[in-house]
Structure 1
Amino acid sequence: MIIRRILTSPAQPGNPIFAYGLLTIIVLLLIWNIQVLLDAPPSYPYDRCGNLVVALMLLFNHLAFQFRWPAGVAVALRVLALGWTAFGLFYVCYESHMLFPLKSSSP
């Protein structure tokens, strides 16, 4: 029943300056990450998507848990947020290191 409570409990009303201010910061971070991703040269050898994955984690969690939504939308957003958090943690902690291993500087 704890999973049902997490998915369906309404968000606690908070300070709107925090909710909308942080949403603005997250959206600006996401725009900046996309701009950096598009401006990176094709020869860039490191992980391009790590920052984007983290920014989307922040966005989905903030939308799901800081704003009031109708019940169906809230459940869908929370499932998306929790699923993306699991994927993001897997990507940042494991997969990005497998896809883009650190190159040693020794000859």
Structure 2
Amino acid sequence: MNPKHVIILSLAVFLTNCGPVNQKGQSMKNDLINLPLLGKVIPRNSLEIEGNPWGIQAGSLDEEVLEKAGAIGVKWTRLGASWPKIEKTKGVYDWSATDKAFNA
């Protein structure tokens, strides 16, 4: 790829991901861009929601991750099984990590 194109692409990505935000996550006043605040997102715990299509993919059943996911309304988790952890020795399979998830 042409070095000039790399610089232009990098600059474009950088500029599209930049924006002033204060510590509360609210947009700061900017004289160049004047956009009105349209509303706020108030997260609800998954226990407060009857149904929700949003979920997460997790690499493990880490309680901290699951608690944080539940706090923002996540209703389901897709657990990614790591084949190198399941078959550490060729032909010998250890499904204990996935069994724990399926038995929960």
Question: Do the structures match in fold with TM over 0.5?
Answer: no
Say which structure is richer in strand: 2
TM-score, scaled relative to structure 2: 0.25
Bigger Rg, structure 1 or 2: 2
Question: Higher relative contact order at CA 8 Å, sep ≥6: structure 1 or structure 2?
Answer: 1
Say which structure is richer in helix: 1
